[in-house]
Amino acid sequence: MRQIPRRLAAPALTALLALGWGCGSGAPPVDTTTAEATVKGTVKIRGKAATGGKVSFDPSNVKRKNESPRTAAIGSDGTYTIKTLAGSNQATFSGPAFLKDPILQDARTQFDAQPGDNTFDIELPVATSP
């Protein structure tokens, strides 16, 4: 069995990696479905139920450019129910409690809604990775 000279091994490996990197469109997969999802849950701020405000789920992406965010009221017990599109949704929040706290003003989280009924309990502020 013949061995490849070391001086050729590195360029050959680099070429193989470059070819592998070029496969595919480079864009991440995005949701295109129009299937609806119902999401129910509770919004908590530092362990206590939010007592009002609104939650919005935004299902738009490069393939669903014309979709607008869906908004639902957060009840006095912190619960909400919202209809959105299945797939990745960005959840954002508004209301007096969220405006008073600078950490919560730009709070957002992602949720991958499945067709049909879903449960998504939200704890704010959202933990960040180190």
> How does the average pLDDT of the chain come out, rounded?
85
Express each pLDDT in 99-119 by its tens digit. Answer: 999 999 999 999 999 999 999
Cα distances from 73 to residues 14, 26, 29, 77, 81, in angstroms, run: 54, 38, 31, 11, 8
Collapse the DSSP code of 71 into the 3-class scheme (helix H, G, I; strand E, B; otherwise coil) and give the result. Answer: strand
- Comparing 12 with 79, the larger pLDDT belongs to 79
Contact 40, 83 (CB under 8 A): no
Q: Does domain 36-124 have CATH number 1.10.3720.10?
A: no
Q: What is the pTM of this model?
A: 0.75
Q: How far is CA 84 from the centre of its chain?
A: 13
